A and B are shown apart, each in its own frame.
Chain A
Amino acid sequence: MTVAEKKELMATACKVRMGVIEGTHAAKAGHPGGSLSAADLFTYLYFKELNVDPKNPKWADRDRFVLSKGHTAPGLYATLAQRGFFPVEDLLTLRHIGSHLQGHPNMNMTPGVDMSTGSLGQGVSAAAGMALAAKYQGKDCRVYTLLGDGEIQEGQVWEAFMFAHHYKLDNLCVVIDNNGLQIDGRVADVMSPYPIPEKLKAFGFAVTEIDGHDFDQIEAAFAKAKETKGVPFAIVMKTTKGKGVSYMEDQAGWHGKAPNDEEYEIAMNELRAQLAEVEAM
């Protein structure tokens, strides 16, 4: 990618992060931590990777994205809004009665959402089912899914991994957001899922490990995913939970808590400064 393209992605990611803060602040609830750790990934997916059309969100041959870690809907919504699936102003209705932006993604309400998720461990199965169906239908589209590192404690995730390998779903790309934290603390302390890449390899995946905040590495990983044939592909990305907002970074307490008015101002000022810095590059 060119320097200009990268700059553009970095700026967009800043705006996505602002959308996360605005949405959860307006909702007085929601999950900013994991939304921010995945903000760069969301941005790359919707602005570079996915073959989708915001004007025709149900286009049959589009690539699919399933947010298996559905609680980070604020990050997905902010990205979809930036990409033009619906107005950015809608983000302020997050979790409100009558809003199409439910606490967890609803495929029948929000344009651009490909699967209803929220109960951990199920989205990855749905994504595997989509990939199987795409192969059966002879479609070229690809299916992407994002899981949390805490989420992979769910046994169903490994059922889905077995299924993906058994049916040679090389049109499926699994991304694991390894921010190291879950509600009750460090994933390593709560119920260690480590070592993650080795486990995935043992389940038959081609695996790559990257820094989930580095667009060059994200781009290279997706390129590798597309070249991989015969087995499903997994990207284990190291990230910082709460990335971009100083007081949220690497704090489990910001998993599912909204910023108050004062915290909102601090977060938005930090993100505005980051955006200005990117734009000045």
Chain B
Amino acid sequence: MADVKKIATRESYGNALKELAAQHDDLIVFDADLAGATKTGIFKKAYPDRHFNCGIAEGNMMAAAAGVAAMGMVPFASTFAMFAAGRAFEQIRNSIGYPHLNVKIGATHGGISVGEDGASHQCCEDFALMRSIPGMVVMSPADDVEARAMVKAAYEHVGPVYIRFGRAAVPVFHEEEGYSFQIGKGEVLQGGDDVAIIANGLMVNEAIEAGKALKECGISARVINMATIKPLDEELVLKAARECGKVITCEEHSVIGGLGEAVCALLSEKCPTPVRRIGVNDEFGHSGPAAALLKQFGLSAEHIVEVAKDFCNV
């Protein structure tokens, strides 16, 4: 692992915005006094006239972005996940979601890997909140290659999109060459038929590592990257459930309302299958280094392996 390149997906976000802006004049960026952290500062440096700081006023930022979109432009509104999905939920729901305006919400610092800032800034509820809004696309990339492609796909998509990016650097496992991303399509990263591990965000890399470790224990795990939480790739989930008979979901999010529950809802109606959900168990996080927190909260390859072994009676 030592030679694997690591990049935080928020960095990918800033870079992708800059690349996109070169081709599209109708793209502007809003930020709420966090341009350095959300990495929209990368865009700002290249396009200072197209970057608008909205100050520490996320509610206004989201509704103003709605107004920008109503004029036919494509605003990317950026802040931490906590203040986008959380604080500005109602503005997103009523001014962006209800009129189905073409606003892209770039929410960085999702999950407990925010680390030292502690629970007030560790948003583990954003998938749940954003999924509940009709017509909202909800995504979370696993690495730099996927994140950049996702930002471009979000621009091309007509309608509101929420993307959660991470603070911590994560391994880049996708090959740039020949890579393509499609909203609503999952990706099988390792074949297998004993158990399906469906993950998103930084948990995908953990799932890949778990998949390799399980192989050595004689468990054939199908590892799936489900970068789009809504609309869910139902076909891929159902196929995995039918062929594996057991499903484990992994997300850096509360077990309430996120990928795990989306998968459970689908399976309970269309293909009842035993599911184990790995995520944050209805509790708040706390301060600490990201790596240590992820380990403590069971968001690790080791924990996925434990759960899978128990699930498969090995």
B-binding residues in A (CB < 8 A):
60, 64, 66, 106-108, 114-116, 118-119, 121-123, 125-134, 136-137, 139, 155-156, 159-160, 162-163, 166-167
Which bucket holds chain B's interface residue count?
A: 20 to 34
Determine whether B98 belongs to the interface, using a CB cutoff of 8 Å to chain A: yes
Among B60, B65, B90, B99, contact of A115 (Cβ-Cβ < 8 Å): B99
Question: B63 near A156 (CB under 8 angstroms)?
Answer: yes
Determine the chain A residues whose CB is within 8 A of the CB of B54 once the complex forms: 163
Determine whether B57 belongs to the interface, using a CB cutoff of 8 Å to chain A: yes
Chain A residue nearest to B26 in the complex (CB)? A137
Determine whether B181 belongs to the interface, using a CB cutoff of 8 Å to chain A: no
Determine whether B291 belongs to the interface, using a CB cutoff of 8 Å to chain A: no
User: In the complex, A155 Cα to B91 Cα: how many Å?
Assistant: 13
B297 → chain A closest CB, angstroms: 34
User: In the complex, A162 Cα to B50 Cα: how many Å?
Assistant: 19
Residue picked from A118, A139, A155, A160, most chain B C-beta under 10 Å? A160
Answer whether A126 and B57 are a contact pair too, CB < 8 Å, given A108-B100, A133-B68, A137-B71. no
Determine whether B81 belongs to the interface, using a CB cutoff of 8 Å to chain A: no
Among A66, A119, A136, A155, contact of B90 (Cβ-Cβ < 8 Å): A119
User: In the complex, A119 Cα to B60 Cα: how many Å?
Assistant: 13
Known: A126-B64, A139-B71. 12 other contacts (CB 8 A): A64-B70, A66-B67, A115-B66, A115-B70, A125-B62, A126-B95, A129-B65, A129-B68, A130-B67, A155-B59, A156-B63, A163-B60
Question: A132 near B57 (CB under 8 angstroms)?
Answer: no
User: In the complex, A131 Cα to B57 Cα: how many Å?
Assistant: 18
User: In the complex, A130 Cα to B69 Cα: how many Å?
Assistant: 8
Determine the chain A residues whose CB is within 8 A of the CB of B63 once the complex forms: 122-123, 125-126, 129, 156, 160
Question: A129 near B67 (CB under 8 angstroms)?
Answer: yes
Determine the chain B residues whose CB is within 8 A of the CB of A115 once the complex forms: 66-67, 70, 95, 99
B22 → chain A closest CB, angstroms: 17
User: In the complex, A108 Cα to B100 Cα: how many Å?
Assistant: 9
In terms of DSSP, what is the predominant structure of the interface of chain A?
A: helix
Determine the chain B residues whose CB is within 8 A of the CB of A114 once the complex forms: 70
Question: A128 near B73 (CB under 8 angstroms)?
Answer: no
Question: B91 near A162 (CB under 8 angstroms)?
Answer: no
Determine the chain A residues whose CB is within 8 A of the CB of B100 once the complex forms: 108
A131 → chain B closest CB, angstroms: 8
Residue picked from A123, A126, A130, A167, most chain B C-beta under 10 Å? A126
Interface digits, B68-102 against A, CB 8 Å rule (1 contact, 0 not)?
Answer: 11111101000000000000001100110011100
Determine the chain B residues whose CB is within 8 A of the CB of A162 once the complex forms: 55, 57, 60
The 4 closest A-B pairs by CB, nearest first: A129-B67, A125-B63, A129-B64, A159-B60
A126 → chain B closest CB, angstroms: 4
A-binding residues in B (CB < 8 A):
28, 50, 52, 54-55, 57, 59-60, 62-73, 75, 90-91, 94-95, 98-100
Chain B residue nearest to A107 in the complex (CB)? B99
Question: A125 near B98 (CB under 8 angstroms)?
Answer: no
User: In the complex, A104 Cα to B60 Cα: how many Å?
Assistant: 20
User: In the complex, A10 Cα to B206 Cα: how many Å?
Assistant: 70
Q: List 9 A-B contacts (CB under 8 A).
A: A108-B100, A114-B70, A125-B91, A130-B71, A133-B72, A136-B73, A156-B59, A163-B55, A167-B52
B93 → chain A closest CB, angstroms: 8
Determine the chain A residues whose CB is within 8 A of the CB of B52 once the complex forms: 132, 167
Question: A125 near B67 (CB under 8 angstroms)?
Answer: yes
Question: B57 near A107 (CB under 8 angstroms)?
Answer: no
User: In the complex, A131 Cα to B67 Cα: how many Å?
Assistant: 8
Determine the chain A residues whose CB is within 8 A of the CB of B28 once the complex forms: 133, 136
B49 → chain A closest CB, angstroms: 8
User: In the complex, A136 Cα to B69 Cα: how many Å?
Assistant: 12
Answer whether A133 and B67 are a contact pair too, CB < 8 Å, given A107-B99, A119-B90, A125-B60. yes
User: In the complex, A136 Cα to B68 Cα: how many Å?
Assistant: 10
Question: B71 near A134 (CB under 8 angstroms)?
Answer: yes
Question: A128 near B67 (CB under 8 angstroms)?
Answer: yes
Determine the chain B residues whose CB is within 8 A of the CB of A134 once the complex forms: 71
Question: B99 near A132 (CB under 8 angstroms)?
Answer: no
